[in-house]
Amino acid sequence: MSHHDMSYAAVMSRKNEIMKASLGIDYDNYVQSPIAFDYERMMDETGYSIEDVARIQRETKVGNTPLFELRNLTQAVRRISEPGKGATILLKDEAANASGSFKARRASISAYEAARKGFKGMIAATSGNYGAAVASQAVQRGLKAIIIQEVFDSRGVGQPEIIEKGRKCEAYGAEVLKLSVGPELFYLLLRTLEETGFFNASLYTPFGVRGVESLGIEIAQQVRDGYGKDPDAVVITHAGGGNLTGTARGLLAAGCENTRIVACSVDLSGLHMASDHDFNRKSFTTGHTGFGIPFATWPDRVDVPRNAARSLRYMDEYQLVTQGEVFYVTELLTKMEGLERGPAGNTSLTAAITLARGMDQDQVVVVQETEYTGAGKHHNSQLSFARENGIEVRRGDPKDSVPGKSIVIPERLEQVWGSVQDMDRLRLSYLRNAAKQYPMESWKAEDIQFLAADIKVTTDWVHQQMAELPSIGEAE
C-alpha cells in the first residue's frame, strides 16, 4: 500500500505513471506532439498477431460466433422498399460469447496479457457489458476482477440495466464498487489501480481494440463463404468507438477495402450524460450520442494517454435512431426471427433496416453484434423505468419523440427511418478540439498528416479548413 498523497489533484497528477505501471505500455514512445502519435506502431507493438488473438480467444470461449441471415425481417423490408431494393440483412450473434456480448473479445487479450505479466487481478471502470466480460475472462485465467460501476443518481436510484450488469459481474466472482454518477469514477479507478497493483483492463488500450479485430475478420470470412462476396455495408453500434475501430480494422486486414462502415447511435441529444438529473431520464446506458459524439470528435478524453479506439479514422457514415425505433426493432427481432437480444446490438439493426431499404437486393448488410438480454436489460423493464421517471411512452411517429421527455414507438416498419449525421460537421468539431489541445499555428506537417488520417480525409482538406476557419480554435 503506497503512502502517496491521495487527494483528488495528487492522484490525477500521477495519472501517467499509474497507467504505465498498470498497463506496461509507455505511451511516451509513440507521442509525436500534443495531438499526433504513431498510431499504427502503437497497435503493432501490442505483440499479438491475428493468429495469436484467435488462439487466445478460443481458449476462453470467445469468437467464432454464428452469422445468421434474418430471412423474415429481410422479406418484411423488401415489402416496404422500391422494386429491386432491400438488401439481405445478416446478424453476427455475439451474444454467443462467454459473458454474452462482443466485449468478451476486448477483455480476452487484456486478461491474457495480465496473466502473462504476473498481475494478480484486473480492474475496469464501466457500467456495462464490458465489466461482465472482464469478470468472465479474469476467472478463466485465474485472476481477480474489480469492476467500478456508476449506478445511482443522488436519490440512490439505479437503472435496471446497470443493476443487471452489476449482478452479472458478481455472478462471475468480481468485486463491484458501485458509485453515484459523477467525476469520481476515474479518480477511484486510478486509486484502486495504485492500491492493488492490478492490471488496468481499460476499454481504450491496443489490447482491447486488437481483440475486436477478430470480429471484422470473421465477418469477412463468413460473408465470403456464404454469399461469395465481401459485405457491402457493416453497421456498428457506436459509443466509445472501440467496437467500430476494431471491427473496421479487422475487415481491412481481411481485405474488405470497399465495405461501407456505418456507425449508429441512439439520439439522446440534449441530455447530459454526467448530469445527475439526466442520468435516469435516458433509457439507454450505452450506444447513444452522449458517448458517440464526444468520443468521435475527440477520442483522447479517456483513461489512457492515447486512445486506441479512433472511430472517425474508419467511419464512412453515421446514422442516428430514436429510442422508440430501437425498442420496436427489438420486439420485431424477437417476434419475426425468434431471437431475443438486448437493445444495444439492435441499435445497429435499426439502422440496417434503413440502409437495406436503399440498397439492391443482391447486396448484403451486416449487423455486427448482438448482446444478451434478460431481467433489467430487457426493453420492457427499461420502458417501465422510463414511465416511473416521468417519461411519456406512446405509439406513433418516432420523429415526434423528445429525448428525456418522450419515447415514441413506431406503429409499423415504414416509420423506422433513422437520420444521417453530417460527417463533415463531426470532422470540423474534431479539428476544433485538436486546436484546443495544440494551437493551429503550431501544427507541423506530421500533425496535419495525423489529423487527416484520424478523420479519414486528405491533408488538402485539412489545409482548406484551416484556411477557411480562422476561428477554428473557438469552442463550439
Residue that is written with C-alpha cell 477520442 in the block: 299
Cβ neighbours of 380 (radius 10 Å): 11
Pick 201 or 291 by higher pLDDT.
201
- What fold does the segment set 56-98+207-420 form as a domain? Rossmann fold (3.40.50)
421 confidence band (pLDDT: 50, 70, 90):
very high
Indicate the range of 176-190, 267-281, 370-384 predicted with least confidence: 267-281
Query: Is residue 429 over pLDDT 80?
Result: yes
Q: pTM for the complete prediction? A: 0.95
Question: Mean of the pLDDT values across residues 253-271?
Answer: 94
364 DSSP β-pair partners: 88
Contact 117, 385 (CB under 8 A): no
Query: Is residue 142 over pLDDT 90?
Result: yes
Distance in angstroms between the alpha carbons of the first and the last residue of the chain: 44
Q: Is 179 helix (H, G, I), strand (E, B) or coil?
A: strand
317 DSSP β-pair partners: 262
* pLDDT the model gives residue 357: 97
* pLDDT the model gives residue 274: 67
276 confidence band (pLDDT: 50, 70, 90):
confident
User: What span, in angstroms and rounded, lies between the C-alpha atoms of 112 and 56?
Assistant: 7
* pLDDT the model gives residue 117: 96
Q: What percent of the chain has pLDDT over 90?
A: 75
Mean pLDDT, the chain, as a whole number?
92
In terms of DSSP H, where are the helices of 24-102? Answer: 39-44, 50-59, 71-79
User: What span, in angstroms and rounded, lies between the C-alpha atoms of 468 and 461?
Assistant: 11
* pLDDT the model gives residue 473: 45
User: What span, in angstroms and rounded, lies between the C-alpha atoms of 469 and 288?
Assistant: 29
Cβ neighbours of 5 (radius 10 Å): 10
470 confidence band (pLDDT: 50, 70, 90):
low
Residue that is written with C-alpha cell 439493426 in the block: 349
Q: Do strands 144-152 and 121-125 pair parallel, antiparallel, or not at all (unpaired)?
A: parallel
Question: Mean of the pLDDT values across residues 133-154?
Answer: 94
Query: Is residue 221 over pLDDT 90?
Result: yes
Query: Is residue 427 over pLDDT 90?
Result: yes
225 confidence band (pLDDT: 50, 70, 90):
very high
* pLDDT the model gives residue 287: 83
The three grid cell numbers given for residue 155, joined into one nine-digit string = 436519490
Query: Is residue 472 over pLDDT 60?
Result: no
User: What span, in angstroms and rounded, lies between the C-alpha atoms of 346 and 462?
Assistant: 35
Question: Mean of the pLDDT values across residues 13-23?
Answer: 88
Instruction: Give whole-number Cα distances, 475 to 144, 153, 423, 436, 437, in Å.
Output: 43, 29, 18, 8, 11
Pick 219 or 5 by higher pLDDT.
219
For residue 82, count CB atoms less than 10 angstroms from its CB and return exposed for 0-12, middle for 13-18, buried for 19 or more: exposed
Domain ranges of the chain: 56-98+207-420, 423-468
Contact 105, 60 (CB under 8 A): no
* pLDDT the model gives residue 145: 98
Question: Mean of the pLDDT values across residues 314-337?
Answer: 96
* pLDDT the model gives residue 305: 87
Query: Is residue 53 over pLDDT 60?
Result: yes
DSSP 380: H
399 confidence band (pLDDT: 50, 70, 90):
very high
* pLDDT the model gives residue 2: 54
Query: Is residue 475 over pLDDT 50?
Result: no
pLDDT in tens, 242-255: 999 999 999 999 99
Q: Is 367 helix (H, G, I), strand (E, B) or coil?
A: strand
